[in-house]
Every structure is written in structure tokens, then in C-alpha cells.
Chains A and B, each alone.
Chain A
């Protein structure tokens, strides 16, 4: 009896699935789903993009992070906040106390006085986080703190997006005339829906003058800011790698010992 009930239940679900499959197949053949413009023209981030922080031995290049921070501060911070990062954290990328104080003082932090209802600002101090950015334009610039962990492709995506602005391909306009980039948006094949509200932020070489003398090409600036955003998203990456190797070394040793103990205990028992 239980097997009979089971067979009926199983047959019921299988029948429903076959009906669903048949319906799907008929509509798939009669009206094959058209390839969307995104599916046809979206590009995956450049796979050849590498940073010193990549891979299990990855470390931070502090010089590069400082350059990236400079790009963030002078270009990105106009629209994008970095609010999960505190100014004090910048010590980890090689700034000293005085420098961190000076950087913090360069940002205005909002203070709400509950007694008077006044909203004022004051100069930032190292314990403050990067302040929220009030943005009035179109689009919604995301908080960049976690961006390299919040997008497929991570840092490579950031770099590809920043350097990927181009004119709409003629082929796209021919095949999908209704997909012309609307006014106020910009075509970028690395962006999920191909049209991004952010105007090209890095437009000319030398837009930022690096203190360490590195030539600020667009590609260099995009690479540096991507490296910086890897750090903001995963500030403990170096410590994680440094902790991981001894742990794995110990566990390898423990595995060998445990295997020998196992063989030893079982030596007299065939199994």
C-alpha cells in the first residue's frame, strides 16, 4: 500500500513536470527567446587584470593603495561614499598619525544637535568614518567600501568599467535600434544593463598628479583605485593570508601524524 501511494504521488509530479516541459518546449520552438541586447553586448571583466593582492600569497602594495586613495579622494569621493572605512584605518596603508589626522580634517562630518535640532558639520577626526556623500544628480552612486566584493569580477570589474567607456557599436544600433543610450546616460559594455549614469570619471592622463612620480595614465589611475578598493573591501586580506599558511602547515603536519597514528593503531587488525 505505501508503495502504491508513493507510485501515484511520483507519477503525479512527473506528469506535471512533463506537461510543464512540453509547454515550455512548444513555446521555445514556436517563439525562440530573442537574445537581449545585454546578452549580446555585455562584456565580462578583463581576465588579464592582476594585482599584487591576488591569489593565496597576495599582499598589499601600499604605495599603490596610497595612489588609489588619492584617485578616490580627488575623483570618486565627489559622488561615492566609503562609509564602512574609518580614517584611522588609513594607517594600515602606510600613513602616519599626523597624515591621518590631516586627511580626516579635510572631510566635513555631519553633527546633529538633538537639543537645538541644528545640523552642522565639523572637521573629521581619525575615529570618524568617511562621511556620507550627498548627491543631487541622476543615478545612485553606490557606497564604494565593499564594491570589489559586491560585483562579479571584483577589482577587474572596477578597472574594466572605469576604462571601458566607448561609443555604442554601430552593430548594436542596427540590431537593436530601440536600445540607443538615452540622454544623460553613458554606454559602457561592462555595466550590467550597458548604460550607466556615471559620466566617464577618468578622462585624461595626468588628471591626478601622483606624489610618488608615477605617471598617471588613465589605465594606471583605474588600476590604482581598483587596488585601493580591494583594500577597503577586505582590509584584513594580508593578515588572513599570513594566518592561513601556518594554519595549513600545521594541519598538514597534523594530518600526517594522524595518519601514522591510524596505521599504527590498526597495524594488528586487517580491515
Chain B
């Protein structure tokens, strides 16, 4: 579907006419990311991050495929094959640093994309499906990143795998069996490394598939915009190409500049030194910490330090570990429910004064959680993360639904055109809403 005023693809060259009749692939691209896709004219720079995320996926797939040609997924040699890439493979150091920092860049971009969605209500009708698919992509990314971090088989790889797969053993009754089945053993070892490598290679292509669905679903209602007012007329939109290809091109160049600055000058700044020590199952690192992009969720996991008992007895209803695991997963899964928790008909945070306050409180809260998640599991970090995690749950499960029911939004512009130009001639013709 598209707006009636969308440009139509008209092949000029006879070869393209021929191709368009047999397989309208150019038409498809033209309508998806070309001049055939009308996009609101008022998108700000926060709308650059979707394209950037797609670009990151491409970086990861391309560098990853070449790295896989040189890497050996066997616990005996995995670490030294990584060093072989760093030392002996032509430009291997650049590929590996591009891939490791590419993962971080991907998460930076995706977090920006998600928080843009939070602020501008991008998850609301009619765009729920885009949002749901986006959360699926995020979950797949987390699984892929986790398994990728295990592959070099350093200390943090091994102990990270130990901790994260250990989460499954918290499930009542079937937990231990499930844990061993997932690992192919009692602890991370060669069987686990092999399947992680296999899945780490597979999942990016699954992500690619879901990304295609995500974009497909986007093209049904069209892109959202900072006012949250739906497109009403042709003057509200511009064709994606050349307007947004140009703007995304600029965003991409700036992104690549920052990414390459990390890659060439601070390639290990986001990594942990312990992962340059080969995995040693007999020696636990002083502090096991995951990569930075998992820190907020890791903090939520560790915040649950007390078993849930029947009051005044010592009968444990839910052990702390299981609570932590349930909470950590709920912290992400609640995003699936967001379109139905936030019932305010106004999408954009620009016109929601109370929502704006709780939004920024959430941003600060997640940063605090992240800081605690990267710190050792000691006081005061545990107590701070308990308060911050409590706020996180209050925000999504209670405060956000309440605010959306009670707040009075500010008046919306009649249309995107009016918000940009200050007036919209169509407004005088249309009946008042």
C-alpha cells in the first residue's frame, strides 16, 4: 500500500521494461526505498537510525563471513585461531575489530532507534506489527551477540556462557535437564562452542529475514513522524529518494566516522581485558561482566537477591535466581505489550507533558541500571540497582498506563504541513476534527 500520490515506477530503458514485465525487482526497490515511497517531510535525525541499523547488520554479516573462513570452533584452538586472525591473516586485525566494535555500534544504533520509538510513540496503532517485529529483532540480536562473544573462548567468553546458560537451570523441574541439553554437557565445552558457532552464523540471516518483514510492515501505514499526526495530503510528504537517501547518506557518513574512530584508535575500549586470557574452567574471574549492551538487563537479573518466602516462615515460594531470570526476561518482553499499555491517542512525546517527564526519568533509570550492571556485585551498586529496577518495572507496568489514561495532551497541529510551514491550506477546507 502507499499513498495515492506516490510516484509510479516507469522504466525507460528497453532492458528495464523487459525485466519489469518478467520480475519487477527494480519496481520493488523503487517503491521500498526509492522515489516511490512517500515519507513525511518533517523527520528529524532520530529517523536516521533505522537505515543505520540495517547498515550495521550488513557490516556484521560481511566481516563475519570472512572471519568465519579463518576461525576454528574448537576449544583447543579457538583462542589461538582468533590470535591467528589478529596476527597472520591479511587485514585480519581490522576485520576482527570491525566485527567486535560493529556489534557495539549496532547496539548503540538500535538503542537509539528503540528509544526514538518510545518517545514518539512509534509502537502505537497502526504500527504495532512494526514494533512487535522490532522487539523480535532485538531479542535475536541479543542472542546472536551473546553467542558471538563466546567464540574467542577467552575467560569472559567461557564464564559469560556459564552464567547465561545457567539462567535456564533456574526453571523449576526441567531447568537442569534443559541446561544440559542446551550446552550438550554439564558446563560450556566443545559441544557448546560448536553449536554457538553454528547458531551465531545462522541467526544474522534470521535477523535479516525479520528485518525484511519489519520494513514490509512499515510500508503498510508508512513512516511515523515527530508530530505523530498522520499524513493527510501530498504536501505532507516527500519521496524517499532523493530526500531521505541524501539525509541518510549524511547520517551514514557521520556514523562511519565515529565507528572508524573506535575501530582504529580505541578498538578494545569496550571489551574486557579478561577476554584476552584463554578460557580456564578452573579459574573464575574476579568479576563476571557481560558486554556493555547487556548491562541494564544484567543489573535487573542481579537485583533480585532475596527469595520470595511465605511470610514468617522459611518456605521458599520462588527462589531469588528464578525471580531474577523472570524479571530480566519480563523487562524486555513487556515491550511487546507496549502498544496496549500506552493507551493515549497522542503518539508524539512532544505533545504529552507528563509522558515526557517519565520518559526522561526512564532514560536516566536505564543509564543507572547500566552503570550498576557493569560494576561489581557489591554495595552500594546492588541497592542502587534494586531501586532502579523497581522504577523500571513501575514505569512500564504501572506509571505509563496511568499517565496515558490521565494526562491532558497539548493541542496537535492539524497536519505535518502546518507544523512545518505554520499553516496548511488544506486545513481550511477540511472539517474540524
Contacts and interface: CB of A to CB of B under 8 A. Distances in A.
A28 B41 CA distance: 56
A270 interface: yes
Contacts of B378: 33
B174 interface: no
B407 to A, nearest CB: 15
Contact of A248 (B257, B341, B396): B257
B360 interface: no
A2 B341 contact: yes
Contacts of A271: 41-43, 238, 420
B324 to A, nearest CB: 9
A248 B334 contact: no
B306 A16 contact: yes
B398 to A, nearest CB: 5
Interface stretch (B157-165, B290-298, B350-358, B385-393): B385-393
B220 interface: no
Contact of B330 (A13, A24, A25): A13
Nearest to A255: B253
A7 interface: yes
| A interface, size bucket | 35 or more
Contact of A149 (B268, B323, B396, B398): B268
B28 interface: no
Identify whether the interface residues of B are mostly helix, strand, loop, or mixed: helix
Contacts of A11: 397-398
B403 to A, nearest CB: 12
B398 A262 contact: no
Contacts of A152: 273
B181 interface: no
B253 A254 contact: yes
Contact of B264 (A14, A145, A146, A243): A243
Nearest to A152: B273
Interface string A237-271: 00111011101100110110111011011100111
Interface in B308-367: 308, 320, 323, 327, 330, 334, 337, 340-341, 343
B398 A10 contact: yes
A243 B95 CA distance: 13
B61 interface: no
B252 A21 contact: no
Given A19-B306, A248-B257, A255-B250, A10 B393 contact: yes
Contact of A16 (B243, B308, B420): B308
B54 to A, nearest CB: 17
3 closest residue pairs by CB, A with B:
A10-B397, A244-B264, A150-B276
Interface of A: 2-3, 6-7, 9-11, 13-14, 16-21, 23-25, 28, 33, 56, 84-85, 89, 142, 145-146, 149-152, 192, 233, 235-236, 239-241, 243-245, 247-248, 251-252, 254-255, 257-259, 261-262, 264-266, 269-271
